[in-house]
Structure 1
Amino acid sequence: MLKKLVVAFAFMVLSLHPAQAEIGEDGLHKEDWFALTFRDIADDIATAAEQGKRLAIVFEQRGCIYCTKMHEELLSDPEVRDFIREHFMVVQYNMFGDEEVTDLDGEVLTEKTAARKWGFVFTPTIAFLPEEAPEGKSVSEAAVAVMPGAFGKWTFLDMFRWVSEKGYEGEEHFQKYHARTIERLREQGRLDAE
């Protein structure tokens, strides 16, 4: 009986503290559901579309405390993680990495030169790409939204929802969309501190 209680307690503790993402050799947190690709943005957009998803690319760097927060507090939250996994194919980039990247305009870059070209200076930075690859544009020109930094749960999740719902095509700015969400959560008594 005691053995069963110990096993049940261990299972309960593990379920309360989900497994943290492992740290790779490059110093970045590795989510097992992030996609590993050849980093050809047009191909990645097409692959995501074949899966019924959108492409999101996330730039991180070794030692980034906000990247750690994103993985440990946001991407480990089942509500956040499950929504993103269902609607997005996420590809991770190293802000100072040397892996080859093919931009939408065909230019071949390294991760670090791509970050400079696209104007990404913060980590994490998440760029949300359109459903179809446009011709002749760079990622920074084609992105439907860019989120620099790791915010609180609801801001972070709302950006993914807003992109998934194509809010960028409508008249409602993301901040108005987010304010409506916060009000609804407040009414439901679900609002955590941002």
Structure 2
Amino acid sequence: MKRFWMTLMAILFALPALAAELGDDGLHKTEWMRDTFKDLREDLGEANDEGKRLALFIEQRGCIYCTKMHTEIYPREEVSSYISDNYFVVQLNLHGDTEITDFDGEVLSEKAAARKWGLLFTPSILFMPEEVSEDQTAQSAAVAMMPGAFGAGTTLDMFTWVNEKRYELDSEEDFQRYHARRIQERQDGSTD
């Protein structure tokens, strides 16, 4: 019985270290998320200046799938480093009141932007191109969207597929085919 209590105490003391940091808005925070004025045109410019891709993470307080991503997937070194090295990440709150400026110049709350873009579920990630015309919204300009929580391999493959601009290639390897190939390569040991 003593061993049980010692094990339980060890687990309880380890829990705060395993938990993702929560901000005042109740959303999980990572070191690679940017705190910006949420003018998406400016954020895109900064991302381009840094040689990175802009990704918009739409999340909400209490989202169990957001928690899964922030506690199980994003902390993995290969995922975290890839995002940090290649992406300029701006987090938006599905129900937030913070003002943002969409690419089309409209100033609206985060929750109004989410409705405008037709986003219903969290997490959702919008991957932006390097250039967006001033008549486009974030949703209409996005080169890809990742709706929901996925495993580390799928997440890393999506970020890689977008970063390598495979959506532009003339091949027939859409994301699903790319991801299936990457799974096979990992099983065969022919990739990292």
Shift of 1:25: 1.5
For normalisation by structure 1, the TM-score amounts to 0.86
Whether 1:184 and 2:189 are equivalent positions in the alignment is: no
Partner secondary structure for residue 125 of structure 2:
strand
Shift of 1:150: 1.1
For normalisation by structure 2, the TM-score amounts to 0.87
| Map 1:6-155 → 2, pairs under 5 A | 20-155=19-154
* Contact 1:54–1:88 (8 Å) recurs in 2: yes
Q: Please list every run of at least 4 consecutive aligned residues from structure 1 whose deviation after the TM superposition is greater than 2 angstroms.
A: 17-21
Q: Which runs of 5+ in 2 are unaligned?
A: 1-13
Shift of 1:60: 0.6
Residue 163 of structure 2: aligned partner: 164
Instruction: Give the letter for the 1:176 counterpart.
Output: R
Q: Alpha carbons of 1:180 and 1:69: their partners in 2 closer, same or farther (altered >3 Å)?
A: same
Partner secondary structure for residue 29 of structure 1:
coil
Q: 1-side partners of 2:179 and 2:109: how far apart?
A: 34
Instruction: Give the letter for the 1:34 counterpart.
Output: M
Q: RMSD in angstroms over aligned alpha carbons?
A: 1.9
Q: 2-side partners of 1:114 and 1:183: how far apart?
A: 38
Q: 2-side partners of 1:74 and 1:38: how far apart?
A: 27
Instruction: Give the letter for the 1:92 counterpart.
Output: Q
Q: 1-side partners of 2:126 and 2:28: how far apart?
A: 18
User: Aligned residues: percent identity?
Assistant: 54
Shift of 1:21: 2.7
Residue 5 of structure 2: aligned partner: none
Q: 2-side partners of 1:19 and 1:135: how far apart?
A: 42
Residue 5 of structure 1: aligned partner: none
